[in-house]
């Protein structure tokens, strides 16, 4: 009797070693069913705080709680086998101090089984990244457009046109890399800037509105499947229009219920399904 082949989940060192090599495929996942569907196709599942808008209908990521992230992170880990799972640290649980960040991150790692946490910020968060990585918590960084800072940034917009802003983003990415992060997300930055950062730092860059030169790419799954609203950011490519499929399926179901065509005999217990030989 041959032993079944075990599946080894990708680790953060595995992804770190992909710098300049095979691009890293990343999508968001917030639920067990979606994680199960995505797992065999991606390298990294990101349990993003974007779940606040996608799952809960919130206006931004700011109201998302640590408990929400842990609940969804644990579901994604349980439903996946091979992808590295990274969970966002939500607003307010890590900015106060490295110690606060460690307490929040330790809960995430212990209660979800995820392989890493992700936090937003550059130079101002480098000390925190170093503090976490020195204590056994792998960290993914996030610079450029940082949604948790939307009120400071003045809205969701691409960054890096202004030379001073561009240099600040480069400095942010360098600081996060030097602090020990295993990768960094570059969101909504000018393409030449994302390309430059990718060339200059030693860890993989994950683009979302960045550059094809980035070491990997990430999208919100509901965006790329056409499941989330009508607004489509420039950096999103729709690979399907699943909202139309869902709408059509629900309309068919509703029509059959209202006309008593569903359920049929084959869907009921104790009723023999008619056959052509029945008299």
Residue 217 has φ and ψ, to the nearest 5°, of: -135, 150
- Residue 120 is labelled as binding a ligand: yes
Secondary structure tally for the chain: helices H, strands E: 11, 8
How is residue 75 written in tokens? 């579901």
Handedness of CA 105, 111, 114, 120 (dihedral sign): negative
**DSSP letter (8 states) at residue 17:** T
- Three-state DSSP class for 223? helix
Return d(Cα 48, Cα 146) in angstroms, integer: 12
- Write the DSSP assignment of 229-270 as a string of letters: -S---TT---S--HHHHHHHHHHHHHHHHHTT-SS-GGGSTT
Report yes or no: 50 and 147 within 8 Å, Cβ to Cβ: yes
The whole-angstrom separation of Cα 8 and Cα 229 is 36
List residues bridging with 24 in a β-sheet: 216
Neighbours of 124 (CB within 10 A): 10
Catalytic machinery residues: 187
Q: What is the distance between the alpha carbons of residues 268 and 197, in angstroms, rounded to a whole number? A: 61
State yes or no: 60 annotated in a binding site.
Answer: no
50 is in an annotated binding site: yes
- Rounded to whole angstroms, what are the CA distances from 39 to 42, 94, 140, 177? 6, 28, 19, 27
In the annotated binding site, the residues are: 49-50, 88, 118, 120
In the annotated binding site for 3-methyl-2-oxobutanoate, the residues are: 49-50, 88, 118
In the annotated binding site for Mg(2+), the residues are: 49, 88, 120
């Amino acid at each position: 009797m041959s032993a079944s082949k075990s599946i080894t989940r990708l680790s953060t060192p595995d992804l770190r070693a992909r710098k300049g090599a095979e691009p890293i495929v990343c999508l968001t996942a917030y639920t067990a069913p979606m994680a199960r569907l995505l797992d065999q196709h991606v390298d990294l599942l990101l349990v993003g705080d974007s779940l606040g808008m996608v799952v809960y209908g919130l206006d931004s990521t700011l109201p998302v709680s640590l408990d929400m992230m842990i609940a969804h992170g644990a579901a994604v880990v349980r439903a996946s086998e091979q992808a590295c799972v990274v969970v966002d640290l939500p607003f307010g649980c890590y900015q106060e101090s490295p110690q606060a960040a460690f307490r929040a991150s330790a809960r995430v790692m212990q209660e979800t089984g995820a392989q890493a946490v992700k936090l937003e910020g550059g130079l101002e968060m480098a000390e925190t990244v170093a503090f976490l990585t020195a204590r056994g918590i792998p960290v993914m960084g996030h610079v450029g457009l940082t949604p948790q800072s939307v009120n400071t940034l003045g809205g969701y917009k691409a960054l890096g046109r202004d030379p001073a802003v561009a240099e600040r983003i480069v400095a942010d990415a360098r600081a996060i890399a030097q602090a020990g992060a295993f990768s960094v997300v570059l969101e909504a930055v000018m393409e030449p800037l994302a390309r430059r950062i990718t060339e200059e730092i030693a860890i993989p860059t994950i683009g979302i509105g960045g550059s094809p030169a980035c070491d990997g790419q990430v999208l919100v799954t509901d965006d790329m499947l056409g499941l989330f609203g009508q607004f489509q950011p420039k950096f999103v490519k729709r690979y399907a229009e699943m909202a139309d499929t869902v709408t059509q399926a629900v309309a068919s179901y509703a029509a059959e219920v209202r006309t008593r065509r569903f359920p049929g005999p084959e869907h009921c217990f104790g009723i023999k399904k008619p056959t052509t030989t029945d008299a």
